[in-house]
Amino acid sequence: MESTNLNIRTDKEVKAAAEKIFEQLGLNMTTAVNIFLRQTIRENGIPFELKLHVPNDTTAAAIEEGRRLAYDKSVKGYTSMEELKAALDV
């Protein structure tokens, strides 16, 4: 197989942090990049999910309400599903 060069630009800190991890895994940068490229070919796409984990306004409000309720001593809590179902008349 014939080799070719691949030149990329990245932040100095990103490169150093990645090299530290690769070293702990027994890899160098070239091997790690080749693993990524080969996995991209196998997966026929980026080999990991690319998504934003940013909740919408409704979800963010629900998370905040849940956190507030979790620490509010005046809010009734339940110790079993049966107790919760009884309170909900389910």
Q: Kindly report the pTM of this predicted structure.
A: 0.56
- The answer to whether the beta carbons of residues 39 and 12 sit under 8 Å apart is no
**Closest by alpha carbon to 32, among 50, 42, 20?**
20
Give CA–CA dist 58/16, Å, rounded: 39
**Residue 73, pLDDT score:** 87
28: CB partners within 8 A, 6+ apart: 19, 22
Does the pLDDT at position 13 exceed 90?
A: yes
What is the C-alpha separation between 66 and 50, in angstroms, rounded? Answer: 27
At 27-73, the pLDDT tens digits run 999 999 999 999 999 999 999 988 878 888 999 999 999 999 888 88
CA 15 from chain centre, in angstroms, equals 20
